[in-house]
Protein backbone atom coordinates (compact mmCIF):
# COMPACT_ATOMS: atom_id res chain seq x y z
CA UNK A 1 0.00 0.00 0.00
CA UNK A 2 2.68 2.49 1.03
CA UNK A 3 4.78 1.34 -1.96
CA UNK A 4 1.94 2.16 -4.32
CA UNK A 5 1.56 5.51 -2.68
CA UNK A 6 5.21 6.25 -3.02
CA UNK A 7 5.34 5.41 -6.74
CA UNK A 8 1.95 6.79 -7.65
CA UNK A 9 3.06 10.43 -7.98
CA UNK A 10 5.87 9.64 -10.44
CA UNK A 11 3.54 7.42 -12.49
CA UNK A 12 0.98 10.17 -12.50
CA UNK A 13 3.40 12.82 -13.60
CA UNK A 14 4.77 10.73 -16.49
CA UNK A 15 1.20 9.98 -17.51
CA UNK A 16 0.42 13.70 -17.44
CA UNK A 17 3.55 14.49 -19.47
CA UNK A 18 2.64 11.90 -22.14
CA UNK A 19 -0.92 13.20 -22.19
CA UNK A 20 0.24 16.75 -22.94
CA UNK A 21 2.76 15.46 -25.52
CA UNK A 22 0.10 13.57 -27.51
CA UNK A 23 -2.22 16.54 -27.34
CA UNK A 24 0.32 18.95 -28.75
CA UNK A 25 2.54 16.76 -30.96
CA UNK A 26 0.37 17.26 -34.07
CA UNK A 27 0.29 20.98 -33.43
CA UNK A 28 4.08 21.10 -33.12
CA UNK A 29 4.45 19.29 -36.49
CA UNK A 30 2.71 22.12 -38.28
CA UNK A 31 5.36 24.84 -37.72
CA UNK A 32 8.19 22.31 -38.07
CA UNK A 33 7.18 21.13 -41.55
CA UNK A 34 6.26 24.66 -42.60
CA UNK A 35 9.94 25.60 -42.62
CA UNK A 36 11.07 22.46 -44.45
CA UNK A 37 12.55 22.97 -47.91
CA UNK A 38 10.99 19.74 -49.27
CA UNK A 39 7.29 19.70 -50.12
CA UNK A 40 6.67 16.33 -48.44
CA UNK A 41 6.23 16.35 -44.68
CA UNK A 42 8.84 13.77 -43.72
CA UNK A 43 11.72 13.53 -41.21
CA UNK A 44 14.57 14.26 -41.38
CA UNK A 45 14.03 17.80 -42.64
CA UNK A 46 15.91 18.44 -45.89
CA UNK A 47 16.65 22.06 -44.97
CA UNK A 48 15.26 25.16 -43.34
CA UNK A 49 13.53 27.94 -45.31
CA UNK A 50 11.01 30.76 -44.89
CA UNK A 51 10.22 30.47 -48.59
CA UNK A 52 6.67 29.15 -48.00
CA UNK A 53 5.86 32.11 -45.78
CA UNK A 54 7.23 34.54 -48.36
CA UNK A 55 4.96 33.00 -51.00
CA UNK A 56 1.78 33.55 -48.98
CA UNK A 57 1.20 37.26 -49.75
CA UNK A 58 1.76 36.56 -53.44
CA UNK A 59 -1.33 34.32 -53.69
CA UNK A 60 -4.39 36.45 -54.68
CA UNK A 61 -6.91 33.71 -53.76
CA UNK A 62 -5.41 33.58 -50.29
CA UNK A 63 -5.61 37.35 -49.88
CA UNK A 64 -9.29 37.26 -50.87
CA UNK A 65 -9.98 34.43 -48.43
CA UNK A 66 -8.22 36.38 -45.67
CA UNK A 67 -10.33 39.48 -46.26
CA UNK A 68 -13.47 37.33 -46.37
CA UNK A 69 -12.53 35.67 -43.09
CA UNK A 70 -11.81 39.00 -41.42
CA UNK A 71 -15.13 40.45 -42.57
CA UNK A 72 -17.06 37.39 -41.43
CA UNK A 73 -15.13 37.19 -38.15
CA UNK A 74 -15.64 40.85 -37.23
CA UNK A 75 -19.35 40.79 -38.09
CA UNK A 76 -19.98 37.51 -36.28
CA UNK A 77 -18.04 38.72 -33.23
CA UNK A 78 -19.97 41.98 -32.96
CA UNK A 79 -23.38 40.37 -33.52
CA UNK A 80 -22.87 37.46 -31.13
CA UNK A 81 -21.43 39.75 -28.47
CA UNK A 82 -24.41 42.12 -28.69
CA UNK A 83 -26.83 39.21 -28.36
CA UNK A 84 -24.60 37.70 -25.68
CA UNK A 85 -24.70 40.91 -23.63
CA UNK A 86 -28.48 40.99 -23.68
CA UNK A 87 -28.78 37.31 -22.76
CA UNK A 88 -26.05 37.35 -20.09
CA UNK A 89 -27.54 40.46 -18.50
CA UNK A 90 -30.94 38.83 -18.32
CA UNK A 91 -29.53 35.57 -16.92
CA UNK A 92 -27.36 37.22 -14.26
CA UNK A 93 -29.58 40.11 -13.29
CA UNK A 94 -33.17 38.90 -13.23
CA UNK A 95 -34.93 35.97 -11.62
CA UNK A 96 -37.80 34.61 -13.68
CA UNK A 97 -39.39 31.23 -14.30
CA UNK A 98 -37.65 29.28 -17.05
CA UNK A 99 -34.36 31.14 -16.57
CA UNK A 100 -32.37 27.92 -16.44
CA UNK A 101 -34.16 26.48 -19.44
CA UNK A 102 -33.44 29.61 -21.45
CA UNK A 103 -29.80 29.44 -20.39
CA UNK A 104 -29.61 25.77 -21.38
CA UNK A 105 -31.17 26.37 -24.78
CA UNK A 106 -28.78 29.22 -25.54
CA UNK A 107 -25.80 27.06 -24.57
CA UNK A 108 -27.02 24.00 -26.53
CA UNK A 109 -25.30 24.75 -29.89
CA UNK A 110 -22.06 24.08 -28.03
CA UNK A 111 -22.80 20.35 -27.94
CA UNK A 112 -24.93 19.90 -31.08
CA UNK A 113 -23.07 18.09 -33.91
CA UNK A 114 -21.83 20.87 -36.15
CA UNK A 115 -22.61 19.01 -39.37
CA UNK A 116 -26.22 18.72 -38.31
CA UNK A 117 -26.38 22.39 -37.34
CA UNK A 118 -24.82 23.30 -40.69
CA UNK A 119 -27.27 21.20 -42.70
CA UNK A 120 -30.29 22.51 -40.76
CA UNK A 121 -29.11 26.08 -41.23
CA UNK A 122 -28.62 25.47 -44.93
CA UNK A 123 -32.22 24.20 -45.15
CA UNK A 124 -33.53 27.22 -43.25
CA UNK A 125 -31.58 29.70 -45.38
CA UNK A 126 -32.85 28.11 -48.58
CA UNK A 127 -36.41 28.08 -47.23
CA UNK A 128 -36.10 31.77 -46.43
CA UNK A 129 -34.97 32.30 -50.00
CA UNK A 130 -31.60 33.70 -48.99
CA UNK A 131 -28.87 33.17 -51.54
CA UNK A 132 -25.74 31.69 -50.01
CA UNK A 133 -23.03 34.24 -49.40
CA UNK A 134 -20.69 35.49 -46.67
CA UNK A 135 -23.80 36.95 -45.01
CA UNK A 136 -25.28 33.49 -44.47
CA UNK A 137 -21.92 32.36 -43.07
CA UNK A 138 -22.07 35.23 -40.57
CA UNK A 139 -25.55 34.11 -39.46
CA UNK A 140 -24.29 30.55 -38.98
CA UNK A 141 -21.26 31.73 -37.02
CA UNK A 142 -23.41 33.90 -34.74
CA UNK A 143 -25.32 30.78 -33.78
CA UNK A 144 -22.20 28.84 -32.76
CA UNK A 145 -20.50 31.88 -31.17
CA UNK A 146 -23.32 32.93 -28.83
CA UNK A 147 -22.70 30.11 -26.30
CA UNK A 148 -19.02 31.14 -26.02
CA UNK A 149 -19.93 34.80 -25.80
CA UNK A 150 -22.49 33.95 -23.09
CA UNK A 151 -19.96 32.00 -21.06
CA UNK A 152 -17.40 34.81 -21.11
CA UNK A 153 -19.95 37.56 -20.44
CA UNK A 154 -21.81 35.71 -17.69
CA UNK A 155 -18.60 35.27 -15.76
CA UNK A 156 -17.94 38.99 -16.19
CA UNK A 157 -21.44 40.06 -15.18
CA UNK A 158 -21.94 37.61 -12.35
CA UNK A 159 -21.51 39.09 -8.92
CA UNK A 160 -21.88 42.57 -10.34
CA UNK A 161 -22.94 44.40 -7.19
CA UNK A 162 -26.30 46.05 -7.87
CA UNK A 163 -25.56 48.62 -5.22
CA UNK A 164 -22.93 50.10 -7.58
CA UNK A 165 -25.70 51.12 -9.95
CA UNK A 166 -27.80 52.27 -7.03
CA UNK A 167 -24.91 54.31 -5.69
CA UNK A 168 -24.57 56.00 -9.06
CA UNK A 169 -28.29 56.85 -9.12
CA UNK A 170 -28.03 58.02 -5.53
CA UNK A 171 -25.27 60.43 -6.55
CA UNK A 172 -27.60 61.99 -9.10
CA UNK A 173 -26.75 60.08 -12.26
CA UNK A 174 -29.49 59.12 -14.74
CA UNK A 175 -30.08 55.53 -15.88
CA UNK A 176 -28.18 56.09 -19.12
CA UNK A 177 -25.38 57.95 -17.34
CA UNK A 178 -25.09 55.08 -14.86
CA UNK A 179 -24.78 52.60 -17.71
CA UNK A 180 -22.12 54.73 -19.41
CA UNK A 181 -20.09 55.65 -16.31
CA UNK A 182 -20.40 52.49 -14.17
CA UNK A 183 -21.86 49.46 -15.89
CA UNK A 184 -20.01 49.73 -19.19
CA UNK A 185 -16.49 50.37 -17.82
CA UNK A 186 -16.96 47.54 -15.34
CA UNK A 187 -17.89 44.98 -17.95
CA UNK A 188 -15.78 46.35 -20.84
CA UNK A 189 -13.00 43.76 -20.38
CA UNK A 190 -15.57 40.95 -20.58
CA UNK A 191 -17.07 42.48 -23.72
CA UNK A 192 -13.69 42.78 -25.43
CA UNK A 193 -12.87 39.25 -24.35
CA UNK A 194 -16.13 38.01 -25.86
CA UNK A 195 -15.37 39.84 -29.13
CA UNK A 196 -11.94 38.20 -29.35
CA UNK A 197 -13.22 34.71 -28.55
CA UNK A 198 -16.03 34.95 -31.12
CA UNK A 199 -13.67 36.35 -33.74
CA UNK A 200 -11.24 33.50 -33.18
CA UNK A 201 -13.95 30.85 -33.37
CA UNK A 202 -15.34 32.32 -36.58
CA UNK A 203 -11.85 32.57 -38.08
CA UNK A 204 -11.17 28.86 -37.53
CA UNK A 205 -14.67 27.52 -38.25
CA UNK A 206 -14.92 25.24 -41.30
CA UNK A 207 -18.05 23.08 -41.46
CA UNK A 208 -20.71 25.78 -41.21
CA UNK A 209 -18.78 28.11 -43.50
CA UNK A 210 -18.38 25.24 -45.99
CA UNK A 211 -22.13 24.59 -46.10
CA UNK A 212 -23.36 28.16 -46.00
CA UNK A 213 -20.99 30.06 -48.25
CA UNK A 214 -21.63 30.80 -51.87
CA UNK A 215 -18.68 31.26 -54.17
CA UNK A 216 -16.52 33.16 -51.71
CA UNK A 217 -14.11 31.13 -49.60
CA UNK A 218 -13.06 31.83 -46.02
CA UNK A 219 -9.56 30.84 -44.87
CA UNK A 220 -10.44 27.32 -43.67
CA UNK A 221 -12.31 26.68 -46.94
CA UNK A 222 -9.33 27.94 -48.93
CA UNK A 223 -7.04 25.62 -46.97
CA UNK A 224 -9.39 22.69 -47.60
CA UNK A 225 -9.27 23.47 -51.34
CA UNK A 226 -5.47 23.60 -51.38
CA UNK A 227 -5.10 20.20 -49.71
CA UNK A 228 -5.97 18.50 -52.98
CA UNK A 229 -2.60 19.51 -54.42
CA UNK A 230 0.38 17.86 -52.76
CA UNK A 231 2.72 20.62 -53.97
CA UNK A 232 0.65 23.25 -52.12
CA UNK A 233 0.97 21.50 -48.77
CA UNK A 234 3.91 23.50 -47.37
CA UNK A 235 2.05 26.75 -48.11
CA UNK A 236 -0.98 25.41 -46.25
CA UNK A 237 1.27 24.44 -43.34
CA UNK A 238 2.74 27.94 -43.24
CA UNK A 239 -0.72 29.50 -43.34
CA UNK A 240 -1.90 27.04 -40.70
CA UNK A 241 0.99 28.03 -38.44
CA UNK A 242 0.08 31.70 -38.73
CA UNK A 243 -3.57 30.96 -37.93
CA UNK A 244 -2.47 28.88 -34.96
CA UNK A 245 -0.33 31.67 -33.55
CA UNK A 246 -3.08 34.25 -34.14
CA UNK A 247 -5.69 32.10 -32.38
CA UNK A 248 -3.38 31.42 -29.49
CA UNK A 249 -2.58 35.11 -28.97
CA UNK A 250 -6.21 36.20 -29.30
CA UNK A 251 -7.46 33.55 -26.87
CA UNK A 252 -4.78 34.40 -24.31
CA UNK A 253 -5.63 38.09 -24.42
CA UNK A 254 -9.33 37.22 -24.19
CA UNK A 255 -8.78 35.05 -21.12
CA UNK A 256 -6.69 37.72 -19.38
CA UNK A 257 -9.44 40.27 -20.00
CA UNK A 258 -12.16 37.89 -18.84
CA UNK A 259 -10.33 37.28 -15.57
CA UNK A 260 -9.81 40.99 -15.08
CA UNK A 261 -13.53 41.62 -15.57
CA UNK A 262 -14.46 38.84 -13.18
CA UNK A 263 -12.05 40.19 -10.58
CA UNK A 264 -13.49 43.68 -10.93
CA UNK A 265 -17.07 42.68 -10.45
CA UNK A 266 -16.51 40.10 -7.78
CA UNK A 267 -13.78 41.61 -5.68
CA UNK A 268 -15.35 44.56 -3.97
CA UNK A 269 -17.43 45.61 -1.06
CA UNK A 270 -16.32 45.93 2.52
CA UNK A 271 -17.42 42.40 3.23
CA UNK A 272 -14.57 40.99 1.19
CA UNK A 273 -12.00 43.65 1.89
Partner 1 sequence: MLERVQSERIQTDCTIIDIRDVTRSYGAFKALDNASLSIGKGEFFSLLGPSGCGKTTLLRMIAGFDTPTSGSIAVDGQPMDGIPANRRPTNMVFQSYAIFPHLNVEQNVAYGLKRLKLQSGEEKRRVEEALEQVSLTGLGKRRATELSGGQRQRVALARALVMRPKVLLLDEPLSALDKKLREQMQVELRRLQQAVGITFVLVTHDQYEALAMSDRIAVMFGGRIAQVASPKEIYQRPVNRQVADFLGGMNFVKAEIVEENDASLVVDTLGFGRVRTDKPKAFVRNGGAATLGIRPERLRVLWDNATAKFEVAGKVVERHYFGEITHLIVEIPGLEKPLSVTETNDFGADDIPVGAPIRLAYDPEALVAMAD
Q: Is 54 in the site for partner 1 (CB under 8 A)?
A: no
Considering the complex, state which of residue 123 and residue 167 has its C-beta at the smaller distance from partner 1.
Answer: 167
Considering the complex, state which of residue 133 and residue 268 has its C-beta at the smaller distance from partner 1.
Answer: 268
The closest of 166, 194, 4, 161 to 82, measured between CA atoms, is 194
Contacts of 153 by beta carbon, 8 Å cutoff, 6+ apart: 81, 84, 85, 87, 88, 187, 190, 191, 194
Q: Is 158 in the site for partner 1 (CB under 8 A)?
A: no
Q: Is 89 in the site for partner 1 (CB under 8 A)?
A: no
Q: Report in angstroms how near the CB of residue 6 gets to partner 1 at its nearest.
A: 44
Q: Binding partner 1 by CB under 8 A: which of 143, 182, 191, 219? A: 182
Inter-residue contact 34 to 240 (CB < 8 Å): yes
Cα angle for residues 178, 92, 80 (degrees, 5° grid): 85
Q: Is 271 in the site for partner 1 (CB under 8 A)?
A: yes
Residue 112 phi/psi, 5-degree rounding, is -70, 140
Q: Is 169 in the site for partner 1 (CB under 8 A)?
A: yes
User: How many residues line the site for partner 1 (CB under 8 A)?
Assistant: 25
Q: Is 183 in the site for partner 1 (CB under 8 A)?
A: no
Q: Report in angstroms how near the CB of residue 91 gets to partner 1 at its nearest.
A: 22
Phi-psi region of 269 (alpha: psi -120 to 50; beta: other; left: phi over 0): left
Q: Binding partner 1 by CB under 8 A: which of 163, 180, 227, 229? A: 163
Considering the complex, state which of residue 52 and residue 157 has its C-beta at the smaller distance from partner 1.
Answer: 157
Considering the complex, state which of residue 61 and residue 169 has its C-beta at the smaller distance from partner 1.
Answer: 169
What is the rounded (10 degree) CA torsion for 147, 149, 152, 153?
Answer: -110
Greatest alpha-carbon pair distance for the chain in Å reads 72
Residues that bind partner 1 in the complex, under the rule CB under 8 A: 161, 163-164, 166-174, 177, 181-182, 185-186, 264-265, 267-271, 273
Amino acid sequence: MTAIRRYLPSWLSSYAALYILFLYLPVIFLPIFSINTAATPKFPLSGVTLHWYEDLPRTPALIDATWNSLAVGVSAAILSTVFGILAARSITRYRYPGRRTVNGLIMAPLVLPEVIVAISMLLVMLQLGLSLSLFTVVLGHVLVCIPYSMTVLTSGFEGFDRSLEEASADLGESAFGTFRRVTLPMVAPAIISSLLVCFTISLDEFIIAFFLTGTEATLPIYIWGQLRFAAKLPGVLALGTLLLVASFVLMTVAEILRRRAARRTQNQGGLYA
